[in-house]
């Protein structure tokens, strides 16, 4: 949960969340017993005889100058670090994560969850949509690293032609159908 530091007359604790601005999972991989370490006194609790320390304040933010490293409309490699109902967080570099929203995962499929396309710790190419250093946010797209199938669908499935599909979902208004395992379409109840 952190690192104990001998301050001479008292012992201080640097909680794992205050070791670095980067995410640290194991403090023993960050420092070793006997290392000299600089820290800032964060809090003193005289009643409990505790000194809380922090190293975060001594580091520059990994987001500083990020606009020069990750420019919009460029493609980079990243690793899926966290998956939520609304998208997937991708680590571009230590301390720098961006978000791929559900709508940016596939050109043609109506996804219920990101794990239909990506898996945890998978390395993927991502397209930078926007970067905001102040808010520490990067909007990413996975689908924009792939060819857009909509451009060729009119030729592949011309109007009034027949195609086989699989019903994915039934709703009061109609059905969502996957055609050719590549595109999801909506068939209204009236049809």
Would the pLDDT of 91 be above 90? Answer: yes
pTM above 0.95, yes or no: no
Tens digits of residue pLDDT in 97-151: 999 999 999 988 888 899 999 999 999 999 999 999 999 999 999 999 998 888 7
* Cα 126 from Cα 145, distance rounded (Å): 6
Would the pLDDT of 180 be above 80? Answer: no
Q: Looking at per-residue confidence, does 102 or 179 come out higher?
A: 102
Sign of the Cα pseudo-torsion (172, 188, 157, 112, in order)? negative
pLDDT band for position 155 (cuts 50, 70, 90): confident
Q: Give the model's pLDDT for residue 160.
A: 87
* Cα 14 from Cα 55, distance rounded (Å): 8
Which two tokens mark 84?
Answer: 């939520």
Q: Give the model's pLDDT for residue 22.
A: 80
Would the pLDDT of 36 be above 80? Answer: yes
């Amino acid at each position: 949960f952190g690192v104990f530091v001998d301050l001479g007359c008292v012992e201080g604790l640097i909680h794992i969340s205050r070791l670095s601005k980067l995410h640290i999972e194991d403090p023993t991989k960050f420092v070793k017993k006997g290392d000299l370490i600089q820290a800032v006194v964060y809090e003193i609790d005289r009643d409990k005889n505790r000194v809380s320390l922090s190293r975060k304040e001594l580091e520059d933010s990994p987001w500083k100058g990020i606009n020069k490293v990750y420019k919009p409309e460029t493609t980079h490699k990243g690793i899926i670090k966290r998956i939520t109902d609304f998208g997937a967080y991708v680590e571009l570099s230590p301390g720098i994560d961006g978000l791929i929203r559900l709508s940016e995962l596939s050109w043609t499929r109506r996804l219920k969850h990101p794990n239909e396309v990506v898996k945890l710790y998978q390395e993927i190419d991502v397209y930078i949509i926007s970067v905001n250093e102040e808010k520490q946010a990067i909007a990413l797209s996975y689908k924009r690293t792939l060819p857009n199938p909509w451009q060729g669908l009119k030729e592949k499935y011309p109007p009034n032609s027949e195609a086989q599909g699989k019903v994915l979902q039934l709703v009061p208004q109609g059905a969502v159908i996957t055609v050719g395992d590549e595109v999801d379409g909506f068939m209204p109840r009236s049809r």
